Structure 1
Amino acid sequence: MNIRRSAALVAATVAIGAMGAQAATADDAASASPSPKTALPSGLYGKGDPTFDGVWRQSLALVAQDTVGVKPAQKAVDWLAGQQCENGGFAAFRAEPTKPCDTKTKIDSNATAAAVQALAAVGGRDGEVAKGVDRLKKSQNADGGWGYSLGMDSDANSTSVAIGALVAAGEKPSEVKSGKGKTGADALASLALPCAKGKDGGALAYQPDKKGRLAANADATAAGVLGALGAGFAPGKGTAPDTYTCEDGKSAEAVAHNGAVYLQNQLDTHLYLKSQLAGSTDQPDYGNTADAVTAVAAAEGVKATKDSYTWLEKNAKGWAAQTGPAAYAELIFAAHATGNDPRDFGGTDLVSALNKTGPEPASTKSSASDSDEKKDDGGGGTNWWIIGVMFIAAVGAGFLFSGRKKQQP
C-alpha cells in the first residue's frame, strides 16, 4: 500500500532522468507539494495541490471512513464521482470536471481502481463502479496485470489496486482474464522472487528491469500481498501460519505468504522500513511501514506486527499530521488489520483527524464498535494496497515521484 500510487513515477522519471528510482512516499509528497494554483473544491480532502493525487487521496479517505463506520459528506462522494470520465476511467485530478475528457486526459489505472474501491464502499454508485470496472478490464495486459496506464507494462502496485477494485465491485479476480487467459494473480506470481534468493526471497519486484531481472521492493511487496489475498485497502486480520518461512510456490496463497514473510523480516530488523529518498540515510518511511504492517497482519495475523505497530503509534503521528488524509487513511488501515482502535492511536484519534481534513461527515461513530465487527469477520471487502504515486516538491521544482518504491529493500 504505501497505499500509494505506483507509476506517476512515469512523469517523475522523465522529469529527473532517473527511471526506476522512487524517492518519496505519496503522503510525504503531498505534504511538500506547493500551494494549489486554483481554489480547492469544497468536497476534496486535504489542502495540498491535488494535481497528482486528488482522486487518490479522496478515495483513500472515503474507504478509511467507511472502514470505521463514518458516513462521508455527500459532496465528498459527489466530487469523486464527478471526476470520472465517460469511458469509466479516472485521471489523477481534473480541475474542470464538467469539461468532457479527451485524448489529452491522462487516465490511469491507479486512480480508477482506487475510486472504484471508494465508490463501492460508500454505496449508491453502482453505475460509476460498473463503468470503472469495465475500464479496468479493457486496460488489462496480456500477462494478466495492469500498468499505470493503457499500454504500459504491468507492475505489482497497479495490479494489486486493480484486483482490490474488482473484489470491491463484487467481481471474482480469478475470472477476469486477459486474452491469453492470464489473471492478476498470475502477473503477481511472475514478479515474486524465489525463496532461493535468501533475504530477498518471497519479495515482489515492482517490475522486471530491462534485462528481465527482479529486484526486491518492499512497497511493491506490501501491495502484492494484498493483491494476492484478493483484498483492497482495508483488509481484515489474517490467521497466523504454522511457519514464518518462505515456501516455494507460485499460487496466490504462496505469493501472499512469502511476501509477508519477507516484510516481516524487514520489520524485524529496525521495526520500520527505511526511506529511499536521497540523503535520508536510515530515515523511516512511515507510510511504507504502515503498509507493511497492514499486509503482514492481513496475511499472517497480528503476532508479527505488534512491535512495528507500537513503533508507528510512537513515531508516525507527526508525519500524518503534516501530510494529511492519505497518511491518516494508511494508519487507519494498519489499525484495522491489526485489530487495534484507530480512535486511540497512541492517544491520537485518527478518525477525527482524518475527518477534519475535509468536509464534515454526514455521520460519525463515537466508538470503533461497528468497525470491530467488520474486523472480526476477517474480510477485506472494502479494499489496499499500494501504491501508488504521488509527488514531492524539491527546491525550485516540483518533482513527481511514485509513492511505490521500486528500489526499496
Structure 2
Amino acid sequence: MSPRRRRCATALAAATVLCVTSAPVASAASAASTPAKTAKTDRTAKLPEALYGRGDPKYDGVWRQSLALLALDGAGAVPAKKAVDWLTGQQCDDGSFAAYRADASAPCDPKKAPADINATTMAAQALAAVGGRGAQVGKAVDWLKTVQNKDGGWGYAPGSPSDANSTSLAIGALRAMDQDPEKTTTNGRSAYEALLSFQLTCGAKGIEDAKGDEGAFAYQPDKKDRLTPNNDASSAAALAGLGEGILSKPLDRDKKSVPLKPLKCATGEDAGADSLKNPRDAADAGAAYVASALKRNGGHFTTVLPGSDEQQPDYANTADAVIALAAGGHRTEADKSLTWLGKNLNKWDKAKNDPAAISTLMLASRATGNDPTKLAGTNLLTRLNKTGPAPAEMPESDKQKSDDDGGTIPVWAFIIVGLAVGAGFGILMSGRRKRQQL
C-alpha cells in the first residue's frame, strides 16, 4: 500500500473508532486556547498568517519568507500556496521587492518602503525554486539589471556603492533564471568582474597587513581603496563564484572531499602571484580562506556584538560557510563546521523559533548531502513549520516515517482497536439482554 493510501486508511479508521470520544477533547482544547489568542499583542495580531515568524518583519519580512520557502523546497516539501502568494504579493510593479510592505494592496512607496536589492535577489531565488512564478522572477531579474552599478555590481540599495554580499546575491538570482553573470554587464563590466574586485589577492592593497588572509573577500573597499577580510562576504562570494545560489546542488557524499586550493602567496610558494581573473579560481581561493578562518576557532566564525568587546559565536555566517564549502565539494571542512553547529544548536536562541535561522541550518544540512530536515537529531522542519503555514505537502521520507515509525499510529493498530471496541459493545449488549431475560 502506498504512503498516501496508508494515510487515508489511517484517517478513516481513526475517524470511525475515535470520533465519539475525541469531540469533547477538541472542544476543551479550543476553549483553552481562546485566552492565548486574546493575549497576543496588537503588533503580532496584525501580522499576516501566511508570513513565517512572529517578530517585527519591518526589516526582514521578505528575506525570512524567502529563506523559509527555499528551505522547504530543498527539503522536498511543497510550501503552502498562501505563503508563496504572500511573497509574490510583496513585489512592486517594477519588479523590485522592499524589505516588507505592511499593505501590499497599496502602490509601492519608495519613501515608506524603498526597494531592497538583497530582498529582491532572495525573493527571486525562492520563487524560482518553488516554481510557477516565472513571470515574477523574470521581472525581478530585469529590475536588477536596470540598477546594476557601473562597476558591474550591486549595493544594498539601488545606486549605493557595490558590495560583495549584494553582488553575490544578485549573481544567485541571475543563475536562478539561467542567466550568465559574465554576460550581465553595464559600462562594459560584468557582475563577476565586480565580485572579483573585492578579493584580497596577492597584489591587493592592504594585503601586507593581512597575512594569512589571502583569498578572502572584503565587504567593500575602505576610503583608501584598501580591502579588509570579511567572513560573511567571503562565504557569499565563494558560493557566487561557483555560479551558485543558496539552494545549491547537494554535495555527493560518495565522492571524495575536494582539496582546498589556497593562493600560492598564502602558502609562500609565489609571493608575486597575479590577481585572479577566473570566478572559479577566485571561489576556490575564497573557500580556502573560509576554511582557514573556521579552523582558527574550532570550526566556527566569531563576531563582536555591538557594545561588547567579547567574541561571540557567529552561527548564521558559519552556516553560510558550510553551504559555500559544500558547493565547492570541500566535504571534510563543511562537515566539521556542520558538526559544530549541531553540537551547539541549543545555544543559538534564534535556532528555536526564528525562521531565517532555522531555514539556513536546513539549507546547510542539505548542502552537505545530509538530511535537510534534521540536524544533530533535532527536527528542524518541525520547528520551521511552527513559525508559519504548514506545507501543502510534506517530504516523502517524512510521510513514510509518520506511517511506519510510531509518528502516527499504524492502520493495523486501529483495526485492532476497532475490533476491540466492537467486541466490547457486543459483550455489553449481550449482558443487558441477559439481565432483561432474568
Does structure 1 residue 220 correspond to structure 2 residue 222? Answer: no
Q: Does 1:350 align with 2:350?
A: no
Greater helix proportion = 2
Name the structure 2 match of 1:315.
344
Aligned CA distance change for structure 1 residues 284 and 339 (closer, same or farther; 3 Å): same
Q: Distance in 2 between matches of 1:235 and 1:76?
A: 22
- Deviations along 1:59-97, one digit per CA (max 9) or x if unpaired, are 011011111111001100000000000010000000000
Q: Deviations over 1:184-222 (max 9, x none)?
A: 111111000014632111000001111111000000111
1:171 matched to 2:185: no
Cα displacement (A) at 1:369: 11
Write the letter of the residue equivalent to 1:54. G
TM-score, L = length of structure 2: 0.73
Gaps of 5+ in 2: 1-40, 265-272, 401-438
How far apart in 1 are the matches of 2:370 and 2:336? 13
The alpha-carbon deviation at position 242 of structure 1 amounts to 4.6
- Matched with 2:366 is 336
1:260 corresponds in structure 2 to 287
> Which residue identity is paired with 2:224?
K
Unaligned stretches of 5+ in structure 1?
1-33, 371-409
CA distance in 2, matches of 1:37, 1:367: 34
Q: Is this contact kept in 1: 2:215–2:262, CA < 8 A? A: no
Give me the whole-angstrom Cα distance separating, in 1, the residues matched to 2:238 and 2:361.
17
**2:325 aligns with one of 296, 301, 309:** 296
Instruction: Verify: 1:246 aligned to 2:263, yes or no.
Output: yes
Instruction: Judge conservation of contact 2:141–2:174 (CA < 8 Å) in 1.
Output: yes
* Higher RCO, Cα 8 Å, sep 6+: 1
Aligned to 1:275: 303
- Tell me the TM-score normalized by structure 1: 0.78
Cα distance, 1:267 vs. partner? 1.1
User: Deviation digits for residues 275-300 of structure 1, max 9, x if unmatched?
Assistant: 22132623101101111111112124
Q: Deviations over 1:213-259 (max 9, x none)?
A: 10000001111111111111121338744554224523101210111
- Give runs of aligned pairs for residues 128-167 of structure 1, distance below 5 A: 128-167=136-175
1:171 positional shift = 1.5
**For 1:134 and 1:47, how far apart are their aligned partners in 2?**
32
Percent of aligned positions with the same letter in both sequences? 49
Taking the TM superposition and a 5 Å limit, the aligned residue runs for 1:174-213 are: 174-178=182-186, 180-195=187-202, 197=207, 198-213=211-226
Identify the residue that residue 28 of structure 2 maps to in structure 1: none
CA shift for structure 1 position 356: 1.8
Larger-gyration structure (1/2) = 2
Query: Whole-Å Cα distance in 2 between the matches of residues 368 and 338 of structure 1?
Result: 19
Partner of 2:246: 233
Q: Which has the larger displacement, 195-204 or 65-74?
A: 195-204
Aligned counterpart in structure 1 of residue 129 of structure 2, from 121, 127, 134: 121
Q: Is residue 40 of structure 2 the alignment partner of residue 40 of structure 1?
A: no
Preserved contact between residue 89 and residue 135 of structure 1 (Cα < 8 Å): yes
Summarize the Cα distance change of 1:50–1:275 in structure 2 as closer, same or farther, 3 Å threshold.
same
The CA deviation string for residues 83-132 of structure 1, in whole angstroms up to 9 with x for no partner, is: 00001000000000000013423001101111111111111111111110
Change (3 A) 1:76 1:136: same
* CA shift in 2, pair 1:46/1:293, >3 Å: same
Offset of 1:170 from its aligned partner?
2.1
* Matched-pair contact (CA < 8 Å) for 1:332–1:342: yes
Q: Which moved further from structure 2: 319-328 or 346-355?
A: 319-328
Q: Secondary structure at the match of 1:224?
A: helix
Q: Against the structure 1 CA distance between its residues 56 and 282, is the aligned structure 2 distance closer, same or farther, given a 3 Å change threshold? A: same
Classify 1:87/1:257 alpha carbon distance in 2 versus 1 (closer, same or farther; 3 Å).
same
1:376 aligns with none
Do 2:66 and 2:87's aligned partners in 1 also have CA atoms closer than 8 Å?
A: yes
1:395 corresponds to: none
Please state whether the residue corresponding to 1:225 is helix, strand or coil: helix
Q: Is the 2:258–2:331 Cα contact (8 Å) retained in structure 1?
A: no
Question: Which of 283, 286, 289 is residue 315 of structure 2 equivalent to?
Answer: 286
Number of the residue aligned with 1:95: 102
- Tell me: CA distance 1:295–1:35, structure 2 relative to 1, closer, same or farther (3 Å): farther
Are positions 1:50 and 2:63 aligned together?
no
Distance 1:206 1:362, change over 3 A: same
Whole-angstrom distance in 2 between the partners of 1:308 and 1:369: 29
Q: Residue 366 of structure 1: CA displacement? A: 4.5
Structure 1 pair 242–288 and aligned structure 2 pair: CA distance change class (3 A): closer
Which structure 1 residue ranges, 4+ long, deviate > 3 Å from structure 2? 34-38, 238-244, 320-323
Instruction: Tell me the distance in 2 between the aligned counterparts of 1:52 and 1:242.
Output: 39
Residue in structure 2 matched with residue 401 of structure 1 by the alignment: none
Q: Give the counterpart letter for 1:245 in structure 2.
A: P
Measured in 1, the distance between the counterparts of 2:304 and 2:375 equals: 26
How well do the aligned residues superpose, as a CA RMSD in angstroms?
Answer: 2.1
- CA distance in structure 2 between the partners assigned to 1:321 and 1:306 by the alignment: 19
CA distance in 1, matches of 2:59, 2:260: 41
- 2:304 match: secondary structure: coil
